[in-house]
Amino acid sequence: MQLNDIAAIVTGGASGLGAATARALAAEGAEVYALDLAPALDGAPTVDGVRYVAADVTSEEEVRAAVNTATSGSVPLRVVVNCAGIAPSARVLSRKGVHDLGLYAEVVRINLVGTFTVLALGAEAIARTQPMADGQRGVIINTASIAAFEGQVGQAAYASSKGGVVGLTLPAARDLAQYGVRVNTIAPGIVDTPMMATVSDEYRAGLAAGVPFPQRFCRPDEYAQLVTMIVGHDYLNGETIRMDGALRMAPR
């Protein structure tokens, strides 16, 4: 599938993976709708072909409104990329007591339920478009993490939410096959996002040294490159792709 003359939704589009993806899709000719929380959009860069839309992925009403905005133009919605998420750290049990149950629920609500909400409402809109070659109408790409497979100490909430995204991938692809909508997931390793910029250079160097090759953090533009590859590869469906430099996470 080509990216020119189509509309695309990218969640978490104001920074990090989402911002890089929005730029990459726009550069290929897509009309991009970058969704994020209103406060995050205040500092979002101006990018040709990218329109910012305030939306909370945990709100069905706000996601529906954003999808309606993305389908109101002159080109069909064919791509949805889920990048929105949070990654707080807390142990199941520590000297401070048991894991905050509200925090656990919030992580799952944003990372998993939010992903499903955007996937489902985006698929509903894509399914209404005219089919292309082989009956294809579009593709949805979700973001998991290698923590879904090797969650570390303090990642119980994050790892289980991302494990849910991995588990969602194949049944969603099977459910949406009759509508010509593909579903794939990217599971990144350590990515050089704004969150990582807050840690010390020594800590960053230690993390990078654990990656077999290349021995560095993944760049957000490399994630975006994989997104565009998945969009263009019409036979890739129901897959979770690790993008981690062969990293396998240790317990801590």
- Write out the catalytic residue numbers: 158
DSSP three-state, residue 87:
coil
In whole angstroms, give the CA distance from residue 229 to residue 241. 12
Decide if 24 contacts 82 (C-beta within 8 A). Answer: no
Tell me the two tokens of residue 110.
Answer: 């944003």
Distance in angstroms (rounded) separating the CA atoms of residues 168 and 197: 31
Q: Which residue has the tokens 């993008």?
A: 243
3-state class (DSSP) for residue 80: strand
What's the rounded Cα separation, in Å, for the pair 91 and 100?
9
Amino acid found at 29:
G
Residue among 237, 119, 117, 105 at smallest CA distance from 161: 105
**Unique residue bearing structure tokens 């119980």:** 156
**Dihedral pair phi/psi, residue 53, rounded to 5°:** -130, 125
H/E segment holding residue 10: strand 7-11
Q: In the beta sheet, which residues pair with residue 186?
A: 143, 241
Helix (H) / strand (E) containing 233:
none
